[in-house]
Amino acid sequence: MAQKIVAGNWKMNLGKEEKMELLKGLKLSDIPNDVNAIVFPTSLYISDLAKSLTKIEVGVQNFSNQNNGAFTGEISISQIKSVGATIGLIGHSERRAYYQENNAFLKSKVDHAINEQFKFIFCCGEPLSIRESGQEFLFVKNQLQESLFHLSAEEMMNGIIAYEPVWAIGTGVTASSEQAEDMHKSIRSWIEEKYTVEVANSVSILYGGSCKPSNAKELFACPNVDGGLIGGASLNASDFHAIINSF
């Protein structure tokens, strides 16, 4: 069974004090035992958060594909682990669009994370022009084939994928539950084709893109939606809390 996950991607938001306010508002005791809640703060706050949060995992929004050395501005997995983060994002559409992270580069990050035994959420999703041309399934399958599907069945087992249609991210436009389920079901069937039904059923497939308390229940009720990667709504404690409790 795929694990239920709700992850909050804070992106480059929240000052030190705002972060404290948000933390105070999160009712940690109300997080259901069968839901894995994760926050992805700016890297500067990982250490603080990892010390103060017990029921929420702390992740990193970005990490280097190198171990150490002359890579100005980069942070290595061992440095990240040493301050308490346990998971990283790979392939978020903002990294793909603004920092030219292509499928081949993302494959190198996947391989590095696997080598370093660092858990990750692999993000995929099509831009609006691709959906309008009816190529969204081909496009997403290609992202997975070029960056992720070279892994062995063992490495793929219990993996986490976030489907985030670019046209829904930060726009207020959410994919309908039918659109989300269609893509999630396809992703699971591609994993089954490439690996086994057991592997396919072990992978958590999260939805991301303007997910909020008003639509989370309907999205999470879809058979192939195992949770969400939440941007804007994770910056508000009561919204994030409501989404975590939407299964």
Q: Which is nearer to ligand PGA, 4 or 212 (CB)?
A: 212
**Calculated CA dihedral for residues 73, 62, 115, 207, nearest 10 degrees:** -170
Instruction: Tell which one of 113, 169, 180, 191 touches ligand PGA (CB under 6 A).
Output: 169
Dihedral class, residue 172 (left if φ above 0, else alpha if ψ from -120 to 50, else beta): left
Q: Provide the mask over 67-106, with x wherever binding to ligand PGA is found by CB under 6 A and - wherever it is not.
A: ----------------------------------------
For 83, other C-beta atoms within 10 Å of its C-beta total 18
Instruction: Tell which one of 5, 9, 85, 175 touches ligand PGA (CB under 6 A).
Output: 9
Q: Which of residues 207-246 bind ligand PGA (CB under 6 A)?
A: 208-211, 229-233
Contact of 59 with 85, CB cutoff 8 Å: yes
- CA distances, 191 to each of 11, 42, 201 (Å): 29, 32, 9
Q: Which is nearer to ligand PGA, 110 or 230 (CB)?
A: 230
Catalytic residues: 92, 164
Residue-by-residue DSSP string for 236-247: SHHHHHHHHT--
Q: Which is nearer to ligand PGA, 111 or 218 (CB)?
A: 218
Using CB under 6 A, list all residues that contact ligand PGA: 9, 164, 169-170, 208-211, 229-233
